[in-house]
């Protein structure tokens, strides 16, 4: 079986616009630890600039898929091709505490002069609303600010694919709403393909072009969300019920 992972920085050909070549093309991806199959002949395409949400219960294989796309886990069976660079924002911000916020962002830039890297880091911090936090230590940031800095670090390299690993799950409800709006604004501005891993059905419906449900290492369900953003979840109750049913969640009757 062919095993191939086209690594973002070894790829030389630029994506050709208009040809419909996907940013992510996964075929027959299989990963097993002993008898335990984590990814089971998984196929996945993500178009350039598409925002895809990946729903799944714990142990469904979504973390392994994300780690594989991030280049942190090897491709042992199947293929995973990615066009452009990949970056990740994790559930915890994972900023280096011993580097000032601006230096954390600049560290994600692997090319260019020191001055140009610093300038781009400053610009990206401004975009996430943290311009004034450029020179502070990460320990002084609030949870939401740290997550925005992490988002800036993921975006600064202008990735073709942005992987978001439950980046809002540890935030309070109000901060989460702000982050949703910020992510949408940044996505509209930079148009990376986005794979948002989440276990929040409402979050997926609010943000994504397409919602996938992964279970036992395969994509079991796929739904397009065509409603205009900003979305009113009240109008998406049918989709919501559909996704919850696929996830095996049965809600009781809503009190009237």
Partner 1 sequence: MTSTAPAAGAVITTGPRRSRPRRGAAALRRAISPLALLALWQAASATGVLPEDKLAPPLQILEAMTEEWRKGTLQDATVISVQRVAIGFAIGAAVALVLATVAGLSRIGEDAVDPPMQMLRTVPHFGLLPLLVLWLGIDESPKVALIALGVAFPLYVNTVAGIRGVDPKMLDAARAMRLSWTERLRHVIAPGALPSALVGLRLSLGVAWLSLIVAEQINATSGIGYLVSDAASFGRTDVVVGGLVVYSLLGLATDALVRSLERKALAWRHG
Q: What share of the chain is helix, strand, coil (3-state, %, to 5)?
A: 35, 25, 40
Unique residue bearing structure tokens 């019920």? 241
Q: b/e string for 168-195 if b means 16 or more Cβ within 10 A? A: beebeeebbeebbebbbebbeeeebbbb
State the Cα–Cα distance between residues 222 and 183, nearest whole angstrom.
22
Q: Does 124 bind partner 1 (CB under 8 A)?
A: no
Q: Does 31 bind partner 1 (CB under 8 A)?
A: no
Please, which residue, 94 or 220, has the CB nearer to partner 1? 94
Q: Does 142 bind partner 1 (CB under 8 A)?
A: no
State the Cα–Cα distance between residues 217 and 244, nearest whole angstrom.
18
Using the rule CB under 8 A, give the single segment among 22-30, 54-62, 75-83, 102-110 that binds partner 1.
102-110
How many residues sit in the footprint of partner 1 (CB under 8 A)? 24
**Rounded (5°) CA angle 155-47-222:** 110
**Among residue numbers 202 through 231, which ones bind partner 1 (CB under 8 A)?**
none
**Among residue numbers 76 through 95, which ones bind partner 1 (CB under 8 A)?**
86-88, 90, 92, 94
Among 137, 171, 178, 184, binds partner 1 (CB under 8 A): 137
Under a CB-based contact definition with an 8 Å cutoff, are residues 31 and 38 in contact?
Answer: yes
**Among residue numbers 48 through 77, which ones bind partner 1 (CB under 8 A)?**
70-72
State the Cα–Cα distance between residues 206 and 213, nearest whole angstrom.
15
Using the rule CB under 8 A, give the single segment among 36-44, 124-132, 138-146, 174-182 that binds partner 1.
138-146
Using the rule CB under 8 A, give the single segment among 30-38, 135-143, 183-191, 241-249 that binds partner 1.
135-143
Q: What's the closest the beta carbon of residue 219 comes to partner 1, in angstroms? A: 23
Alpha-carbon 12 to chain mean position: 23
State the Cα–Cα distance between residues 91 and 49, nearest whole angstrom.
22
Among 30, 99, 122, 218, binds partner 1 (CB under 8 A): 99
Q: What's the closest the beta carbon of residue 146 comes to partner 1, in angstroms? A: 13
Q: Which residues contact 241 (CB under 8 A, 6 or more apart)?
A: 251
Q: Does 140 bind partner 1 (CB under 8 A)?
A: yes
Q: Does 98 bind partner 1 (CB under 8 A)?
A: yes
- Using CB under 8 A as the criterion, which residues of the chain lie in contact with partner 1 when the complex forms? 8-9, 70-72, 86-88, 90, 92, 94, 96-99, 107-108, 110, 136-140, 153
């Amino acid at each position: 079986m062919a095993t191939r992972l086209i690594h973002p920085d070894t790829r030389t050909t630029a994506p050709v616009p208009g040809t419909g070549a996907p940013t992510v093309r996964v075929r027959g991806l299989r990963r097993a630890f002993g008898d335990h199959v984590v990814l089971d002949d998984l196929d996945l395409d993500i178009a350039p600039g598409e925002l895809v949400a990946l729903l799944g219960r714990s142990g469904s294989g979504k973390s392994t898929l994300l780690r594989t796309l991030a280049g942190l886990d090897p491709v042992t069976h199947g293929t995973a091709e990615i066009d452009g660079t990949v970056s990740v924002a994790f559930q915890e911000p994972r900023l280096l505490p011993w580097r000032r916020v601006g230096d954390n962002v600049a560290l994600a830039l692997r090319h260019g002069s020191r001055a140009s890297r610093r300038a781009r880091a400053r610009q990206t911090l401004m975009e996430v609303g943290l311009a004034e936090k450029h020179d502070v230590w990460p320990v002084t940031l609030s949870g939401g600010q740290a997550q925005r800095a992490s988002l800036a670090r993921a975006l600064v390299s202008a990735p073709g694919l942005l992987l978001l690993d439950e980046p809002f799950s540890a935030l309070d409800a109000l901060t989460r709403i702000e982050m949703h709006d910020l992510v949408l604004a940044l996505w509209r501005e930079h148009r990376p393909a986005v794979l948002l891993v989440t276990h929040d059905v409402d979050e997926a419906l609010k943000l994504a072009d397409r919602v996938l449900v992964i279970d036992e290492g395969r994509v079991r369900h796929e739904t397009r969300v065509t409603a205009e953003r900003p979305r009113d979840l009240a109008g998406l109750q049918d989709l919501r019920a559909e996704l919850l049913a696929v996830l095996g969640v049965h809600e009781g009757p809503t009190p009237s």
